[in-house]
């Protein structure tokens, strides 16, 4: 699947065929298996990733190895440890595959070259703002909503992910126990 089409990534929508061929060469295809890490804490972060297929989680591990899941990314999403990528520092976050995953990576140098040469700043600004809004919504959800409301909000925003994410991982993301998640699921089916 290393030879993608112009329609595979929305970043290419407005490009001519010649621009597409040139820009396509900036991307590197990679395939990962379920449970593989794309980024591990303390690794240098040199790429931003377009998720072509599969599902990943972005996590932080504290000093006691307790995991905090920041987000999930799936088909047609961009993901990385953005702070480490942008500042060219070591990762504080880990990016792990929850399914077999295919990605297209764009290196730091190519990212900024692409922004300038193909005038894609607005494209990535829009993606960044949408991600920022989602993060703000998630923070407010964790601060103000009951477990039931967090569960309902997740199901409303990402109804197809419930079957794809292991319940132990989803319970971590929602900040509830596995048992509470099971009760919430059963109650929602009544």
The yes-or-no verdict on residue 1 having pLDDT over 70 is no
DSSP3 helix / strand / coil % (the chain, rounded to 5): 45, 25, 30
Of 29 and 5, the structure prediction assigns the larger pLDDT to 29
Map out the domains of the chain as residue ranges. 10-127, 145-190
Helix axes 147-157, 121-144, angle to 10 degrees: 150
Give phi and psi for 99, each to the nearest 5: -140, 165
Contact (Cβ atoms closer than 8 angstroms) between residue 4 and residue 52: yes
* pLDDT surpassing 50 at residue 29: yes
Write the pLDDT tens digit of every residue in 30-77.
999 999 999 999 999 999 999 999 999 999 999 999 999 999 999 989
pLDDT in tens, 121-140: 888 899 899 999 999 999 99
Q: Which of 9-23, 45-59, 172-186 shows the lowest mean pLDDT across its residues?
A: 9-23
What is the distance between the alpha carbons of residues 173 and 168, in angstroms, rounded to a whole number? 9
* Res. 9: pLDDT tops 90: no
Helix (H) or strand (E) holding 154: helix 147-157
**Separation between Cα atoms, residue 159 and residue 153, nearest integer Å:** 10
Residues with Cβ < 8 Å from 101, sequence gap 6 or more? 31, 32, 34, 36, 38, 51, 53, 54, 55, 56
Question: What pLDDT is stored for residue 15 in this prediction?
Answer: 76
Q: Tell me the percentage of the chain whose pLDDT exceeds 70.
A: 95
Rounded mean pLDDT, 93-102: 98
Comparison of pLDDT for 2 and 55, the residue scoring more: 55
Fold held by 10-127: Jelly Rolls (2.60.120)
Local confidence band at 117 (pLDDT 50, 70, 90 cut-offs): confident
Q: Which residue has the higher pLDDT, 3 or 76?
A: 76
């Amino acid at each position: 699947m290393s030879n993608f089409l112009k329609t595979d990534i929305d970043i290419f929508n407005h490009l001519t065929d010649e621009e597409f061929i040139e820009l396509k060469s900036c991307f590197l295809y990679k395939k990962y298996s379920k449970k593989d890490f794309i980024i591990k804490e303390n690794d240098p972060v040199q790429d931003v990733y377009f998720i072509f297929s599969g599902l990943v989680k972005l996590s932080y591990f504290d000093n006691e190895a307790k995991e905090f899941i920041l987000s999930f990314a799936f088909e047609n999403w961009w993901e990385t440890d953005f702070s480490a990528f942008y500042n060219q520092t070591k990762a504080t976050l880990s990016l792990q595959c929850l399914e077999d995953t295919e990605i297209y990576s764009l290196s730091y140098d190519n990212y900024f070259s692409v922004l300038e040469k193909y005038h894609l700043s607005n494209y990535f600004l829009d993606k960044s703002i949408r991600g920022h809004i989602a993060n703000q919504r998630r923070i407010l959800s964790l601060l103000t909503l009951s477990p039931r409301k967090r569960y309902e909000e997740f199901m409303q925003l990402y109804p197809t992910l419930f079957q794809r994410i292991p319940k132990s991982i989803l319970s971590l993301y929602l900040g509830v126990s596995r048992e509470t998640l099971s009760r919430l699921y059963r109650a929602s089916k009544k």
